[in-house]
Amino acid sequence: MENYKWHKVLDNPASLPEGRVQSVTAGHRTFCLTHHEGKFGCLDNKCPHQGGPLGEGSIENGVLRCPWHGWDYDPLTGKAPGFDDGVDTFPVEIREDGIYIGIPVEKPHPRTVSDLMVETMVNWGVNTVFGMVGHSNLGFADAMRRMEEKGKLQYIGIRHEGAAAFAASAYGKLTGRPAACFAIAGPGSTNMFTGLWDAKVDRAPILALTGQVATQVVGTGNFQEVDLVRAFSTVAEFNHRVLTTSKHAELMSLAVKHALLKRDVSHLTFPDEIQTQAIDADLPAQTPEGRITPMQISPPQDTFTKALEMLRAAQRPVIIVGHGARFNMPAIIELAERLRCPVLTTFKGKGLVPDHHPLGCGVLGRSGTPIASWFMNEADLLCVFGASFSNHTGITPKKPTIQVDFDPLALSKFHKIDAAVWGEISVTVQLFLEQMDTLQAIDQTEEIAKRWAIWREEKQRRLQDDRQHGLSSIAVFEAMNKTVPKNAIITVDVGNNAYSFGRYFECSEQSILMSGYLGSIGFAFPAAMGAWAAAPERPIVAVAGDGGFVQYLGEITTAVKYKMPIKLILLNNSELGKISKEQRAGEFSVWQTKLHNPNFAEFANNCSALGIRVEQVGDLEAAMQQAFAHDGPAIVEIITDVSLI
């Protein structure tokens, strides 16, 4: 039996009694081990009719019955009594240390469509995947496993596909590069929709990879069959089913290229049989070399000249930066320092300029500071970089405005703009710096410092508020101001916790991620997983309310499994407080917003994370310091007053 390899499958023969069967694994195959009439046998585990696992069947009246549809086989010979079919058998040896089976030596793995597409994906820089392995994506998953074994791909298995999409969205927001989310056909894929829409509306590149049932049953109502190309048509900018005749490396290249250049969602779905389709072993994977253009677009001269003249003439200009400016801040801050003018941020842009910078004024709008509002009102010119003018932000259309954006559709999107400058932000700002020779702007630095002093005095007064119903949000974020590492990445959920974070937390060098335009509850913790995958060397902090965290509660076990040192600051007020507030504002009765919660700290400890529960304001800083010092995931659960926001 020189073409066979022996594998030990059972330590003790006595563990498989007479008349019993069980499934055993050797190499990459599963077999049915039988004990019948004092002998041990080994059969192929797959019934030839529908692939039923014979090792899960039972011996009845001397025959092994398939558990799926009752077909019978001889437990030792594999023959089907009364028929000419059956299953293959394999040699068995009982040795001193257990039972061994002999199986044919495995042939080298044939290169597949999945191998080629995963190699191409990695060549294009997509080397992080969040997902769940299942029956309709196993071929593609196996290709990713091989790439992971080579050290070229990081795969993180999550507990819910929605968390995979949020994590990949956060990865794209932080880095500007796509990560992938991965799911099975049907419900696994549809679970990713919310996170994909989050990435889409916030212009984050993302790649969705989905399994699909076999091509021949697509459209027949087969188990877990959903037409995923049609289903994803509303969310995906690039959206294709992989076919036998597809140019597979080119298809993956185009998917990643669209995600990068469009800053949007790309989706590929893989029918089951395509995933393991063998291909030429020498067929090369593609790379981005010569396939992608630099994006340093210079603005048209006429609109740039108009904007430059407006900057030269302004006496009290204000710079407003949104999330779209996140990779261009050194040049923008240099421009602000030349103008000696305030820098405000949108909520999504929080932290892009440190609050302790002499020109930083915090967030503008509903989640903002009175400092930002003051300078908006006093300005005679708004210079806006990478912001969308949403109602939440509150950028007034009544002031003369310059808007700079790489996307021409974002320019003048909601109202007329005086100087709408289409160009890459860093290039445009550099041109401003080079040509802004004469200025009328006054130095507003001293006035900024005065407004900060007024606001900080007000915050100290609010810290004294106590209704004996829990801690105030301002106390939570004041403690975070003192304890959060300066280089942390902070992911923020939606709700009152987010409003208070925008208003009270003072950023230094932290990066802030949130579900911006979509405003999806549950974002914070999955996003923290994405941030950790993108930048494991930086501290990762999630801020969430009880309503948001519960939506992806199970992902704390993912953080434990992968040793993600995520620190969750959890504001627990047992209520959907923002919704209660909106019901009152709309003159509705407050209804169905109360929550029944577990002890989240105890839950964290049960999951092998660190859980700390805080009910006294004097314990806040120590609890946070303990969490940040902990080598692993931690939850600081803080009992808060829903009205002190």
Domains and CATH numbers, the chain: 4-104 (2.102.10.10), 113-275 (3.40.50.970), 301-446 (3.40.50.1220), 463-639 (3.40.50.970)
b/e burial code for range 326-365 (CB count within 10 A of at least 16 → b): bebbebbbebbeebbbbbbbbbbbbbbbbbeebbbbbbbb
Q: Which residues contact 171 (CB under 8 A, 6 or more apart)?
A: 128, 177, 178, 179, 530, 531, 533, 534
Distance of CA 573 to the CA centre of its chain: 26
Which residue in 467, 167, 461, 443 sits closest to 316, CA to CA?
Answer: 443
Distance of CA 305 to the CA centre of its chain: 41
> Tell me: the pLDDT tens digits for 219-228?
777 888 889 9
* Percentage with pLDDT > 70 across the chain: 100
Q: Are strands 4-10 and 98-104 parallel, antiparallel or unpaired?
A: antiparallel
Q: Which two tokens stand for residue 106?
A: 């495995």
What pLDDT shows up at residue 594? Answer: 95
Which residue in 162, 126, 160, 158 sits closest to 144, CA to CA?
Answer: 126
What pLDDT shows up at residue 106? Answer: 85
> Tell me: the pLDDT tens digits for 396-426?
888 999 999 988 988 998 889 999 999 999 9
Which residue in 98, 97, 90, 136 sits closest to 16, CA to CA?
Answer: 98
Q: Which residues contact 616 (CB under 8 A, 6 or more apart)?
A: 471
What pLDDT shows up at residue 419? Answer: 96
Asked if pLDDT for residue 532 goes beyond 70, the answer is: yes
> Tell me: the pLDDT tens digits for 605-630?
999 999 999 999 999 999 999 999 99
b/e burial code for range 460-490 (CB count within 10 A of at least 16 → b): eeeeeeeeeebbbbbbbbbbbeebbbeebbb
7/231 Cα distance (integer angstroms):
45
pLDDT (average), residues 165-189: 97
Q: What is the pTM of this model?
A: 0.92
What pLDDT shows up at residue 1? Answer: 47
> Tell me: the pLDDT tens digits for 63-82?
999 999 888 999 999 999 88
Contact 47, 68 (CB under 8 A): yes
Q: Which two tokens stand for residue 382?
A: 């708004």
571/174 Cα distance (integer angstroms):
24
Asked if pLDDT for residue 481 goes beyond 70, the answer is: yes
- Residue 367 is given by DSSP the state T
